[in-house]
Amino acid sequence: MWQVCGCFAAILLAAGLDIAPETARAAPGDTPAVTAVRIGSHGDTTRFVLELTEPAAYQLFLLPDPYRAVIDLPEVEWRLPSGAEAARGAITGMRHGLFRPGTARIVLDLDQPVAVAKSFTLPPASGNQHRIVIDLKPTGRDAFLAALRSPAAQPPPAPSRPAPATPPRRVPGKHVVAIDPGHGGVDPGTIGRGGAIEKEVTLAHARALRRALLATGRFDVVMTRDRDVFVQLRDRIRIAQEAGAEVLLSFHADALADRRVRGASVYTLSETASDAEAAALAAKENKADLIAGIDLTDHSAPVAQILIELAQRVTMNASAVLARELVEEMKAVTPMLQNTHRFAGFAVLKAPEVPSVLVEIGYLSNTSDERQLRDPRFRARLADGMVRALDRYFANHQALKRP
């Protein structure tokens, strides 16, 4: 008998090594919705079942190091019941979300190399809706890697750089500020004790800051994302660069095993982390592309070097000045960590010509911080403080303005 468990908070898929993707077309005008996920195990086979309101085309592929299985669908609605994630058999973890406009993605973490024994669709029957069914069986690493080289198993290209979500008007005399809500789409970030999701918290705070900046009439704003969509780390940098941003603020909300710890902090770039916690945080945030199911194994040395290029010294100094101004204003609004200005090698801060800071607005692992971060009134107060910090930064450091 199959042992079956439901999966709710997130979902995933498995994909064909040398099996061509199966497809089914939805009726024109219909938007499929994902309503259920089930995982079963029987012997050494793990079965993954995705249930939808309409038939949908899908593509399956596998990725190594770490082992992942990915399913791409048309943009869908997510109607999964609330509840805990589940894992069984070869599946150890799952995520879902919008990978790029028009494409939804499900990423399945695997504990071993697998092959797809079966992959098929089923029409509605016996109370079930349209289903995508995938059976995974263990295989050896050599066979796994060999199968990945077949044309049918190649993943689709990574999403192209998106246009700015809110392009600046470029009015002369206004400062351009780039705001980067961390995570998004298939990359949820941290999940709080009370259920707050980092990608939603960061977007809410980014929008609050945008409103506050635009209300002054002194700023134009570009957002790296303004919806629940995944954006690669390097594209976040490009959006700021192409908008001519004079500064970039990236919002995040962390979690720690010690739930008593609370407070905000501000990070700037350094390849030498200020402490072990800063190093661990940077390592986690820099995995965003991997978490979203992007194949990073083929990056050439020159490309990799570009992605990790150190910011120019003058930009790093300007970032430190901006961080100090932000800390001064934020401490009047929210508790701060003892070592408030910290340093680590965050990829999103590596635009050579754009002073950049990463603002950890609190800990979702702490109930007080989580409650505060979900409060619109707190978001408005924090945004007002950040506006004052930016005003002072630009007023006191006109030499740092780009011509």
- pLDDT (tens digit, 9 = 90+) per residue, 223-233? 999 999 999 88
218/346 same-domain check: yes
The residue segments making up the domain with residue 89 are 3-151
Mean pLDDT of 181-187: 93
Asked if the model's pLDDT at residue 288 lies above 80, the reply is: no
The residue length of the chain stands at 403
Those residues whose C-beta lies under 8 Å from the C-beta of residue 47, and which sit 6 or more positions away, are 2, 38, 39, 40, 41, 133, 134, 135, 136
Torsion of CA 381, 382, 387, 392, to 10 degrees: 110
CATH code, domain carrying 63? 2.60.40.3500
Q: How far apart are CA 351 and CA 129, in angstroms?
A: 47
105 touches 185 (CB < 8 A): yes
Residues 332 and 185 in one domain: yes
Residues 99 and 198 in one domain: no
Name the strand (E) or helix (H) holding 91: strand 91-100
Q: Which helix or strand (DSSP H or E) is residue 137 part of?
A: strand 130-138
**Binning pLDDT at 50, 70 and 90, where does residue 8 land?**
very low
> Measuring CA to CA, how many Å separate 59 from each of 9, 67, 88, 174, 248?
22, 17, 22, 45, 36
Q: What CATH number corresponds to the domain at position 207? A: 3.40.630.40
Name the more confident of 349 and 262: 262
- Examine residue 167 and state whether it is found in any structural domain, yes or no: no
Task: Give the pLDDT score at 340.
Answer: 86
What residues contact residue 163 under an 8 Å CB cut-off, 6+ apart? none
Residue 160 falls inside a structural domain = no
Same domain, 129 and 188: no
Task: Indicate whether 170 belongs to any domain.
Answer: no
**Is 180 in the same domain as 265?**
yes
Structure confidence at residue 326 as a pLDDT band (50, 70, 90): very high
- Looking at residue 26, its pLDDT comes to 39
The reply to whether 168 falls in a domain is no
Domain membership flag for residue 14? yes
Q: Is 159 inside a domain boundary?
A: no
Q: Is the pLDDT of residue 17 over 60?
A: no
Going by pLDDT thresholds of 50, 70 and 90, the confidence category of residue 361 is very high
Q: How sure is the predictor about 82, in pLDDT bands with cuts at 50, 70 and 90?
A: confident
Give the per-residue pLDDT at 162.
Answer: 55
Q: What is the pLDDT of residue 151?
A: 67
Among the residue ranges 37-51, 151-165, 191-205, 327-341, the one predicted with the least confidence is 151-165
Q: How far is CA 15 from the centre of its chain?
A: 22
- Quote the CA–CA distance of 94 and 296 in Å, as a whole number: 19
Please say whether the dihedral angle defined by the alpha carbons of residues 301, 145, 67 and 6, taken in this order, is positive or negative: positive
How far is it, in rounded angstroms, from Cα 106 to Cα 104? 7
pLDDT band at residue 234 under the 50/70/90 scheme: confident
Confidence category of residue 152, pLDDT binned at 50, 70, 90: low
Alpha helices in 149-295 (DSSP H): 198-216, 233-242, 276-285, 288-291
Inside any domain, residue 184: yes
Phi, psi of 54 (to 5 degrees): -135, 155
Res 223: pLDDT: 96
Q: Does residue 158 lie within any of the structural domains?
A: no
User: What per-residue confidence (pLDDT) applies to 74?
Assistant: 94
Same domain flag for 191 and 113: no
SS3 312: coil
Same domain, 197 and 328: yes
Region 213-219: what's the mean pLDDT?
Answer: 96
319 and 273 within one domain: yes
What's the confidence (pLDDT) of residue 286?
63
> How far is it, in rounded angstroms, from Cα 188 to Cα 203?
11
pLDDT at 311 over 50: no
Same domain assignment for residues 237 and 339: yes
Residue 181 and residue 142 share a domain: no
Q: Does position 166 have pLDDT exceeding 80, yes or no? A: no
Q: Which of 135, 151, 167 is the last residue of a domain?
A: 151
**Domain final residue pick, 99, 118, 151:** 151
Asked whether residue 93 falls in the same domain as residue 184, the answer is no
CA distances from 181 to 156, 202, 332 (A): 25, 5, 23
Specify the DSSP class assigned to residue 154. Answer: P
Say how many domains are in the chain: 2
Q: Does 122 or 173 have the greater pLDDT score? A: 122
Same domain membership, residue 348 and residue 269:
yes
Section 208-230 average pLDDT: 96
Decide if 318 contacts 324 (C-beta within 8 A): no
